[in-house]
């Protein structure tokens, strides 16, 4: 997920004629479910261009915007989890002051329309008095009407709209999804390369194992959606030693999973696996080929989802596995 996020973001920045450096992946604040990312622009960027970059950035299918901060807890989370106050010094936020506003502190607003109630100004801000700095030469004393981090301590400062600084904070607000979860059972055959000391040859050793655990799918407006970990479907065994995360699904899955089109569906996709054996973690790939049905109660409301099918995968040269699974999910 991190690799694809970076590739997509870089492509968007290049189309905009801008070059920035994002961290590996946005981080989520559990309090509001939003994700935040810091994008550095060592050569500088203006507030308006930063706003464009943020609004053209996407994560988990959701477009971003310059971050809006409404509490000290949110401010601290951003600073503490995106590199610290020194790294984020001068990064733009989503605050601005419309033309004609009373100076220096009148009518500040967030680009999202959220209430401007919390502030974290630097001790001498706002002052509406530009004193230099940044990447663009501007006259001293011009007005200041946009917001950025300042002072190496996570406080805020007002700067001119036309000034250039060194980065921005993006915020993503994914809509809430509904998690359907339930008991799952797996019957898998593992094939491992095994070195035979007697014959001095490598042989393939097979073993059959049964697992029980939990399966989860995530639905938004009657369609499959990604959860906070980037999974459409998640499986994890009861002992915690086996997890599967389906990160990509075939378009046929999206079409048939809509509850309004049919009572049955296909669910086909690929993702990543993690299996722990004797304390060692093996990470690899997994492929899912399944179908299922929607079960409704007497009033016609969806009450459960039944899924069954085949699952295959492996971990480099350590082992491959294949087998069947079955799960019944409820809200």
Which pLDDT tens digit goes with each residue over 31-62?
Answer: 888 999 999 999 999 999 999 999 999 987 78
| Residue 275: partners with Cβ closer than 8 Å, 6 or more residues away | 241, 242, 243, 281, 282, 284, 315, 321
- H or E stretch at 81: helix 72-81
Per domain, the residue ranges of the chain are: 2-172, 178-329
Does the pTM of the predicted model rise above 0.85?
no
Cα end-to-end distance, the chain, whole Å = 26
pLDDT exceeds cutoff 60 at 308: yes
Question: What's the angle, vertex CA 221, arms to CA 218 and CA 225, rounded to 5?
Answer: 35
pLDDT exceeds cutoff 50 at 1: no
* C-alpha to C-alpha distance for 162 and 104, rounded to whole angstroms: 17
| Residue 311: partners with Cβ closer than 8 Å, 6 or more residues away | 186, 188, 244, 286, 287, 288, 289, 290, 321, 322, 323, 324, 325
Three-state DSSP class for residue 256: helix
Neighbours of 331 (CB within 10 A): 13
Please list the residues that pair with 65 across neighbouring strands.
Answer: 171
pLDDT exceeds cutoff 90 at 10: no
Please list the residues that pair with 304 across neighbouring strands.
Answer: 295
Distances (CA, A) of 288 to 72, 188, 220, 291: 44, 13, 21, 10
Residue 310 · residue 290 · CB < 8 Å = yes
* C-alpha to C-alpha distance for 238 and 14, rounded to whole angstroms: 45
Neighbours of 9 (CB within 10 A): 23
Neighbours of 201 (CB within 10 A): 9
254-268, pLDDT tens digit by residue? 666 665 556 788 889
- Considering the four listed CATH numbers 3.60.150.10, 3.40.50.2000, 2.40.37.10, 3.10.100.10, the one that applies to the domain covering 2-172 is 3.10.100.10
The answer, yes or no, to whether the previous bond of 104 is cis (omega within 30 of 0) is: yes
> What DSSP designation does 240 have?
S
Average pLDDT of the chain?
Answer: 86
107-150, pLDDT tens digit by residue? 999 999 999 999 999 999 999 999 999 999 999 999 999 999 99
> What DSSP designation does 174 have?
P
How would CATH label the architecture of 178-329?
Answer: Beta Barrel (2.40)
């Amino acid at each position: 997920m991190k690799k694809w996020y970076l590739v997509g973001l870089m492509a968007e920045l290049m189309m905009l004629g801008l070059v920035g450096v994002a961290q590996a992946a946005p981080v989520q604040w559990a309090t509001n479910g939003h994700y935040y990312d810091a994008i550095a622009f060592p050569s500088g960027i203006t507030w308006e261009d930063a706003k464009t970059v943020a609004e053209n950035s996407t994560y988990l299918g959701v477009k971003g915007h310059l971050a809006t901060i409404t509490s000290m807890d949110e401010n601290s989370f951003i600073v503490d989890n995106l590199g610290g106050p020194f790294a984020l010094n001068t990064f733009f936020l989503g605050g601005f002051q419309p033309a004609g506003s009373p100076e220096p502190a009148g009518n500040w607003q967030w680009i999202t329309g959220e209430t401007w109630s919390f502030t974290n100004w630097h001790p001498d801000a706002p002052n509406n008095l530009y004193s230099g700095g940044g990447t663009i030469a501007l006259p001293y004393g011009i007005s200041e009407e946009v917001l950025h981090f300042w002072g190496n301590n996570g406080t805020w400062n007002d700067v001119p709209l036309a000034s250039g600084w060194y980065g921005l904070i993006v915020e993503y607000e994914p809509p809430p999804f509904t998690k359907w979860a339930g008991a799952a059972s797996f019957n898998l055959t593992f094939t491992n390369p095994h070195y035979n000391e007697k014959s001095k040859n490598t042989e393939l050793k097979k073993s059959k194992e049964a697992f029980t655990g939990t399966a989860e799918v995530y639905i938004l407006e009657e369609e499959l959606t990604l959860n906070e970990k980037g999974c459409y479907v998640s499986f994890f065994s009861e002992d915690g030693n086996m997890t599967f995360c389906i990160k990509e699904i075939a378009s046929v899955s999206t079409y048939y999973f809509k509850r309004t089109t049919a009572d049955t569906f296909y669910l086909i996709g690929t993702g990543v696996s993690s299996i722990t054996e004797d304390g060692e973690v093996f990470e690899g790939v997994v492929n899912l080929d399944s179908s299922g049905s929607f079960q409704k109660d007497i009033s016609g409301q969806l009450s459960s989802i039944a899924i069954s099918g085949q699952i295959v995968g492996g971990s480099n040269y350590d082992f491959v596995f294949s087998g069947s699974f079955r799960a019944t999910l409820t809200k």
